Amino acid sequence: MLKKFSKKISFLKFFKKKKTAKTGHAAGPNLFIVNSVLLSVLLLSTGGNQIILYKIHNKLGIKSALTQIIEKTVSGSSKSSDASLSGNAGEDAVKLAFRQGVPEIYGPELGVSFDQVQQSMNILKVYDPTYGQKKITLTGENLKRYIDIGSKIACEYCCGAKSLVFPDGKAACGCAHSQAMRGLAAYLILNYGGQYSNDEILRELARWKGKFFPKKMADKVTQQLINGNFTPDTAALVLGLKLPDYGKGNQAAPLPSNIKDQPGMVGGC
């Protein structure tokens, strides 16, 4: 259809030139009106084509990039804490510590998923600033952020380390879990430092920690929900959430029944 209109416009231009050459005068207002009408028809035709394409895409389940952006804006980012808490400490610990699916922003980019823990660990650890095959080097303010985040979380269930990094930023542990967490922290600081705060990056590391050490993290989160004394990693998991009243006390929290079959640790030290 567009080709037909292009031929018509070209013909009008040719006609205008011939008439001008014969008469020595401009084509005048009549040609302007004809051009305006043709342009209007062209625009209406293009708009109609877009509507038809939209309907076809909608039927096939295909979304345009603009539609996806709008839907993400309206629905909100999965960066935020989106767990719906019930008030049952054991159940809520599972919701907070055990994420599912692909993390937003970096997940599709790196090909990692909370449902493929070992594979994702292998991908994330290559960016570890100390041991990674594609190590990320941070300096200045980025290095300060890295140290601040790394000093608030550890893989204590594997190697007994108290933090991921020493005060100078060097690795405090060489196990695969800590390499993966440090790699992710460095990757997010370097590439998305303006989109993630330190606390939000720490939350991503804590979510992976929950997948690395399912039973231990479930027990830890459950007890801290009850007694209200949070360590930085568990505090990151409840970042931005209004917590129900779980009651106070030092009673031992039962391990949630639906994770009894989960491994104590994924991956080796």
Q: Do 45 and 118 belong together in one domain?
A: no
Q: What percent of the chain clears pLDDT 70, i.e. is strictly above it? A: 61
Top-confidence range, 5-19, 157-171, 181-195, 216-230: 181-195
Q: Which residue, of 40, 74, 108, is where some domain finishes?
A: 74
Is there a domain that residue 266 lies in?
no
Contact 117, 267 (CB under 8 A): yes
Contact 105, 195 (CB under 8 A): yes
Q: Do 254 and 159 belong together in one domain?
A: yes
Q: How far is CA 143 from the centre of its chain?
A: 22
Any idea which of 40-49, 122-131, 140-149, 180-189 has the lowest mean pLDDT? 40-49
Average pLDDT over residues 127-137: 97
Q: Do 69 and 89 belong together in one domain?
A: no
Q: Which of 44, 38, 47 is nearest to 4 (CA)?
A: 38
Q: Which of 232, 189, 222, 259 is nearest to 93 (CA)?
A: 222
Q: Do 44 and 84 belong together in one domain?
A: no
Q: Which residue, of 20, 42, 74, is where some domain finishes?
A: 74
Q: Do 178 and 123 belong together in one domain?
A: yes
Is there a domain that residue 102 lies in?
yes
> Is the pLDDT score of 229 beyond 70?
yes
- Per-residue confidence (pLDDT) for residue 1, from 0 to 100: 46
Q: Do 25 and 57 belong together in one domain?
A: yes
Top-confidence range, 23-37, 58-72, 113-127: 113-127
The rounded mean pLDDT for the chain is 75
Which has more pLDDT, 191 or 84? 191
Is there a domain that residue 269 lies in?
no
**Segment 108-119, tens digit of pLDDT:** 999 999 999 999
Is there a domain that residue 155 lies in?
yes
Q: Do 51 and 100 belong together in one domain?
A: no
Q: What percent of the chain clears pLDDT 90, i.e. is strictly above it? A: 48
Q: Do 25 and 116 belong together in one domain?
A: no
> Is the pLDDT score of 225 beyond 70?
yes
Q: Do 88 and 34 belong together in one domain?
A: no
Q: Do 30 and 144 belong together in one domain?
A: no
- Per-residue confidence (pLDDT) for residue 241, from 0 to 100: 87
Q: Do 109 and 174 belong together in one domain?
A: yes
Q: Which domain holds residue 147?
A: 80-259
What's the domain count of the chain? 2
- Per-residue confidence (pLDDT) for residue 245, from 0 to 100: 84
CB-based contacts of 160: which residues, under 8 Å, 6+ apart? Answer: none
Q: Do 70 and 84 belong together in one domain?
A: no
